Amino acid sequence: MVALQEILLLVDLDNDTSVPVFQVCEWHSPEQLKKLLDLELRDGGEAESEILQRCRDAIRYSVKTSHPRFFNQLYAGMEPYSMVASFIAEAVKTNLYTYEVAPVFTLMEDAVLRKMIKVIGWEEGGDGIFNPGGSLSNMYAVNLARYRYCPDFKEVGMFSAPRLVILTSQECHYSISKGAALMGIGTKNVYTVPTDERGRMIPSALEEKIMLAKSEGAVPFMVNATAGTTVLGAFDPIDEIADICEKHNLWLHVDACWGGAAIMSKKHKHLLKGIHRVDSVAWNPHKMLMASLQCSAFLVRDKTSLLQHCHSARASYLFQQDKFYDVSYDTGDKSVQCSRKPDAFKFWLMWKALGSRELEQRVDRALAMARYLAEEIKKREGFRLVLEPEYANVCFWYLPPSMRNLPESPELWKKLHTVAPVVKQRMMKKGSMMVGYQPLGEKANFFRMVVISPQVSRQDLDFVLNEIHNLGKDL
C-alpha cells in the first residue's frame, strides 16, 4: 500500500520539483491530456511507484486554485483548518443520516446551523441542513415554498396545484430555472424581474410581475432574491422585497451563496439589510469564507419541521422511532439524499480555530483588496470599470492601444468583444494566472476579477493588470 504520508506530501507543491509551482495551470488540450494521464483501467493493478506518479500527475495538471493568482471562480485559496477537516471526514468515512453512525458530525452540524441562524438574526430559531452545493440549496427553497403553498403536491403531484410561478431577478443564478425544470414547474413559469444599472432587482418591477402572473390566472408562490450576483456581485434590496412578499403572502428566499459572508462583517453587513425577514437562505461558506469544497448550507426560518415533512420518506431501516436515543438527531429525513457527507465539519473546525473576528477580517480584507484593484483600474490607460464594485467582484474592460482612440460606437464594442477571449487563451496557455470573462446583456465581453484569498497581495493584483496588458497589447 502506498504510504499515505507520501501522497499527502504531494499536495505541498513545493516538495515536488517536477511541478512548475509558479504556474496557475499547465494547459493541455483534452486529447493531449488523455495521453499524459494514462486513464485506462486494466485488469491488473500497478506498482506503488506508478500510483505515486499518477498522484503527481493529477496534481501537476490540475488548476492550482489555491495559487494567489487564481481569480477565475467564486472560490479560491487554501484554508488549512478546513482542509484538515476534509481529510478527517474522508478518513472517518461516515454518513450523515442518523446519529447512531455519525454522532460527532451530527452534533457539529447542529451547532454550526444554530450559529448561522443566529448570525442571520432569526431570534426565534430555525432549521437547516448542509447540501452538496448552492444549486441544491436553492432547489430546496423552491420545493419547500411549493410544499408550504400546496402540501398535497408531495403525494398527488402536479395535478393538485394550479400553474405556479417563481419570481426572480434577471441576474439570478441559473439553478432557479434548473430547479423549476426538475420539479415540474417549468422554466416558462420562472418570471424574471428587471434589474437596475447595478444589477439589483427593481422592487416596483417585481410587484408588476406579480400582478401580471395573477392576471394570467397563475399563482405566484415564491420570490428568489440574490445577495451577491455571480457576475456583478449585486445585492437585491431585501427589505423592500420582503415588504412586497408579506403583502402578497409569498415565500421569500435569498440566494446568499456568494454574498452571505458579508453578514459576518460589521462594516459590510448592511448589504444584507432585511435578511432576518426572509423565509430561507442559501449560504456557501466554501466561497468567500474559504471552507473546503463543498460546504453549502440551506437555512429556513421555520420551527414546525417543514424540512422534515416536505422531504421525509420514513425509511424504516434507518429512521426507527423506537430507538434507545433521541431520534430528533436523526436528520437524514430532512434531506432528499440518503448518503450525505459531514460538510459542516469543514466550517466548524475553521470557525473554532479562527473565531468570528478572524472571519470578519477575512471579509473586510477581501473587499478592501477589491477596492484597491478598482482604484488601480481607474488610474491605468486602457482599462475601464464596467461599474463601481459593491462586493468582491471587479468587472472591467481592457482596451488595447489600437482601440483607445476609436470613437464610442457599435464598431468599437464589436472589436472589444473579441479581446477578452484572446487574452484568456493566452493566459491559460502561459499558465501565469486565471481570470474569468463574460458578456452581460448587451455589454461586450469583460473581465471579472474575484478577490477572496488572504494570500493575495497588492503585487498580485498589479501583476494581473500588467499581464493583461502584456498579453493583449498587440490586438
Is the pLDDT reported for residue 434 higher than 50? yes
Average of per-residue pLDDT across 286-300: 96
Instruction: Say if residues 316 and 330 touch (Cβ distance below 8 Å).
Output: no
Is the pLDDT reported for residue 2 higher than 60? no
Is the pLDDT reported for residue 103 higher than 90? yes
pLDDT at 10: 47
Pairing outcome for strands 434-440 and 251-255: unpaired
Q: Please tell me the least confidently modeled range out of 146-155, 261-270, 458-467.
A: 146-155
pLDDT at 45: 95
pLDDT at 161: 77
Tens-place pLDDT, residues 189-230: 999 999 999 999 999 999 999 999 999 999 999 999 999 999
Rg of the chain over CA atoms, in angstroms?
24
Distance CA 418, CA 412 (A): 10
Average of per-residue pLDDT across 358-380: 97
Tens-place pLDDT, residues 294-353: 999 999 999 999 999 998 888 887 878 888 888 888 888 899 999 999 999 999 999 999
Tens-place pLDDT, residues 18-57: 333 469 999 999 999 999 999 999 999 999 999 999 999 9
Average of per-residue pLDDT values in the chain: 92
Could you tell me the pLDDT band of residue 185, with boundaries at 50, 70 and 90? very high
pLDDT at 323: 80
Nearest Cα to Cα of residue 308 among 154, 457, 133, 465: 154
What the block records as the C-alpha cell of 320 is 426507527
305: left (phi over 0), alpha (psi -120 to 50) or beta: left
pLDDT at 324: 86
Q: Please tell me the least confidently modeled range out of 82-91, 147-156, 170-179.
A: 147-156
Neighbours of 212 (CB within 10 A): 14
Average of per-residue pLDDT across 385-395: 96
pLDDT at 19: 38
pLDDT at 89: 96
Pairing outcome for strands 393-398 and 219-226: unpaired
Distance CA 349, CA 84 (A): 9
Distance CA 164, CA 186 (A): 9
Q: How far is CA 120 from the centre of its chain?
A: 18
Q: Bigger pLDDT: 326 or 416?
A: 416
pLDDT at 3: 42
pLDDT at 230: 95
pLDDT at 22: 67
pLDDT at 293: 93
Using a pLDDT cut of 90, give the percent of the chain over it.
Answer: 85
Instruction: Say if residues 399 and 380 touch (Cβ distance below 8 Å).
Output: no
Is the pLDDT reported for residue 271 higher than 80? yes
Q: Bigger pLDDT: 463 or 319?
A: 463
pLDDT at 277: 97
